[in-house]
């Protein structure tokens, strides 16, 4: 005859019943004031002590005359949890993942979130972040370079921008009524490096000092205001037949040894008109240093034909900077040069913004302020007109 299954062992108690299931877990129930049998919403417990604790806690609710059915309490708690704003940490991570950002920008935002924001705001519910908490955090972030000439650290400004961006999205999602980031001039950045933007003569000298196959990279980046990631993803098909227009539709970045080609930063796909004085250099480069295929890179790695590694370019760049007497000049200063030149040439705020691919006018406004430094030159031109 087949053996009979041994029923689960039931422990008799003055209140409630506890039994061990064949799985090894424990089940508990009791008869409530409504004369119905109630079980734990969690179903079972890992240990007997946990089951006993739950039954005892239910008995206390009955004795205090505040008892309601466990299932109803669990439903009410779940509904309250669904209405409760998430913590800043989990919400910010989701916002950053969902935004259309360049890979390097997304990595930068995650770094700022992890290192500068999460320690203070990570576990705080969105509706628990107050202007006072933001000000306390702002005052406590380290990074001032020296007491004699205090500077707002770049990391703190960038972290504040990420904090404000995430909370703006929370306002749009109706999770909080308003943004608590209200510090005046918090994003007015005092860079950690001195202004080193080259002059037009230095741009020309720098191009001459580079290897011939890379000379145009200096001219294109400077006079067209491209990002480095955009310059090194340019291909023959991106240059118009008359060498008058560049199509900036992609950018290349390398993160953790992996090369990624994606849309430019901030989705800044655009057409950039090439200044006439460098169009002949563009044509000569296409004839001499670029493959005939439409997909050929303008500045490939000579060994592999693929994207030129950033460190390889920087080594050649540093040698050229030393040669013209500008050691320490950063590649990104060429883009600053392009923005300032565009503003000095009379470009409106919108025109500079479109040319450089800025998502907001605030970034382009910097070049308008730099161009405003031509007040003396403008006054002299006015006097010459008067004299004539």
Q: Would you call 270 a catalytic residue per the annotation?
A: no
* Catalytic-role residue among 164, 335, 336, 355: 335
* Catalytic-role residue among 156, 235, 336, 358: 358
Give the model's pLDDT for residue 299.
97
* Spatial CB neighbours of 149, under 8 Å, sequence gap ≥ 6: none
- The radius of gyration of the chain's CA atoms, rounded to the nearest angstrom, is 32
Length of the chain: 388
Q: Are 159 and 112 in contact (CB under 8 A)?
A: yes
Give the model's pLDDT for residue 48.
93
What pLDDT digit, counting tens, does each position of 19-57 carry? Answer: 999 999 999 999 999 999 999 988 899 999 999 999 999
Q: Would you call 367 a catalytic residue per the annotation?
A: yes
What pLDDT digit, counting tens, does each position of 373-386 carry? Answer: 555 555 665 666 66
In whole angstroms, give the CA distance from residue 8 to residue 48: 13
Options 3.30.450, 1.10.150, 1.25.40, 2.60.40; CATH of 88-172: 1.10.150
What pLDDT digit, counting tens, does each position of 295-343 carry? Answer: 999 999 999 999 999 999 999 999 999 999 999 999 999 998 998 888 8
User: Which range has the worst mean pLDDT, 73-82, 196-205, 210-219?
Assistant: 73-82
* Catalytic-role residue among 164, 227, 307, 355: 227
Q: Would you call 336 a catalytic residue per the annotation?
A: no
Share of the chain above pLDDT 70, in %: 84
What pLDDT digit, counting tens, does each position of 332-369 carry? Answer: 999 989 988 888 888 888 888 888 888 777 776 766 66
Q: Are 179 and 168 in contact (CB under 8 A)?
A: yes
Superfamily of domain 200-375 in the CATH hierarchy:
Intergrase catalytic core (1.10.443.10)
* Catalytic-role residue among 332, 350, 369, 374: 332
Give the model's pLDDT for residue 151.
45
Q: Would you call 160 a catalytic residue per the annotation?
A: no
Sheet holding 9-12, edge to edge: 9-12, 17-20, 26-31, 37-39
Average pLDDT, the chain: 85
- Token output for 64: 């205090």
User: Which residue reads 């650290």 in tokens?
Assistant: 153
Give the model's pLDDT for residue 75.
86
Q: Would you call 335 a catalytic residue per the annotation?
A: yes
In whole angstroms, give the CA distance from residue 320 to residue 326: 9
């Amino acid at each position: 005859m087949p053996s009979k299954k041994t029923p689960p062992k039931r422990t008799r108690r003055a209140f409630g019943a506890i039994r061990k299931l064949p799985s090894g877990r424990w089940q508990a129930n009791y008869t409530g004031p409504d004369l119905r049998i109630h079980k734990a919403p969690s179903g079972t417990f890992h240990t007997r002590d946990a089951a006993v604790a739950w039954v005892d806690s239910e008995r206390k609710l009955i004795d205090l005359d505040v008892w309601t059915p466990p299932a109803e309490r669990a439903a009410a708690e779940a509904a309250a949890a669904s209405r409760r704003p998430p913590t800043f940490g989990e919400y910010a991570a989701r916002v950053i993942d969902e935004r259309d950002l360049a890979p390097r920008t997304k990595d930068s935002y995650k770094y700022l979130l992890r290192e500068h924001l999460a320690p203070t705001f990570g576990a705080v519910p969105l509706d628990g972040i107050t202007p006072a908490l933001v000000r306390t955090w702002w005052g406590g972030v380290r990074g001032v370079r020296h007491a004699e000439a205090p500077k707002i650290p770049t990391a703190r400004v960038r972290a504040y921008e990420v904090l404000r961006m995430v909370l703006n999205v929370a306002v749009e999602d109706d999770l909080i009524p308003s943004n608590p980031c209200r510090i005046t001039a918090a994003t007015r950045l005092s860079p950690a490096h001195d202004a080193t933007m080259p002059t037009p003569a230095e741009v020309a000298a720098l191009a001459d000092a580079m290897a011939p196959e890379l000379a145009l990279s200096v001219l294109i980046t400077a006079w067209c205001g491209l990002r480095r990631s955009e310059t090194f993803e340019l291909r023959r098909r991106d240059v118009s037949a008359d060498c008058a227009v560049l199509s900036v539709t992609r950018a290349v970045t390398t993160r953790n040894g992996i090369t990624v080609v994606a849309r430019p930063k901030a989705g800044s796909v655009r057409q950039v008109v090439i200044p006439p004085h460098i169009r002949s250099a563009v044509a000569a480069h296409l004839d001499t240093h670029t493959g005939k295929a439409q997909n050929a890179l303008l500045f490939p790695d000579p060994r592999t034909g693929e994207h030129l590694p950033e460190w390889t370019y920087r080594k050649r760049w540093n040698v050229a900077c030393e040669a013209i007497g500008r050691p320490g000049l950063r590649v990104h200063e060429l883009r600053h040069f392009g923005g300032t030149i565009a503003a000095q040439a009379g470009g409106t705020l919108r025109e500079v913004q479109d040319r450089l691919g800025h998502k907001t006018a605030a970034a382009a406004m910097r070049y308008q302020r730099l161009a405003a430094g031509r007040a003396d030159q403008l006054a002299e031109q006015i006097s010459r007109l008067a004299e004539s």
